[in-house]
Amino acid sequence: MDGVDEGSLARLFRAALDGDERAYGDFLHETARLVRAWARRRAFGGPDPEDIVQETLLAIHIKRHTWRCDGPVTPWLYAIARHKLVDALRRQGRHSQVEIGEVEDRLAAEETETIRDWEIGRALETLTPGQRSVVTAISVEGRTIAEAARSLDMNETAVRVALHRGLAAIARRFGRD
């Protein structure tokens, strides 16, 4: 799946907005790839590019109604990514006294390939227990809505609502301290 062009990305997104879950997943994976490459070129020594990727994906999700369906999708994606990168750089500027040490630590961590704790982990901790278990079941454990409903003893509507609210709360909390 290398080099998906503007046209097919827009087609995927349009199908996604019509409710095609699989198309949405493909669209988000492709977007993550684009934003990752983009962020790596711009955030060197700054915020973790993967944080930018995740924050951008969440913002795309929450604000997907701001895309004009008849317009191109990549300028819209990069505008959101830019907004989030600027946000992250600004945040880091506020905590710049720890910058050097932090960067060295991160480089060391990347060398040893340890599992990194991204910002999203911190945002996840601020959710209500119910929202957190639903979000975790579907993301980390990879369950479907129906499976999550069964394992958590909830009905599917409640799972959908908890997931929706949980993701919105993560997007709001992301990177805020």
What does the binding site for another protein look like in residue numbers (CB under 8 A)? 16-17, 19-22, 24-25, 28-29, 32, 50, 53-54, 57-59, 61-68, 71, 75-76, 78-80, 82-83, 118, 120-121, 124, 135, 138-140, 142, 144-145, 160, 163-164, 167
Burial 109-126 (b: 16+ CB within 10 A, else e): eeeeeeeeebbbeebbee
42 vs 61, beta carbon nearer another protein = 61
Instruction: Tell the smallest beta-carbon distance from residue 100 to another protein (Å).
Output: 27
Burial class (CB in 10 A: 0-12, 13-18, 19+), 158: middle
Q: Could you give phi then psi for residue 162, rounded to 5 degrees?
A: -65, -40
Cα gap 50→88, rounded to integer Å: 12
Instruction: Tell the smallest beta-carbon distance from residue 45 to another protein (Å).
Output: 21
43 vs 80, beta carbon nearer another protein = 80
42 vs 64, beta carbon nearer another protein = 64
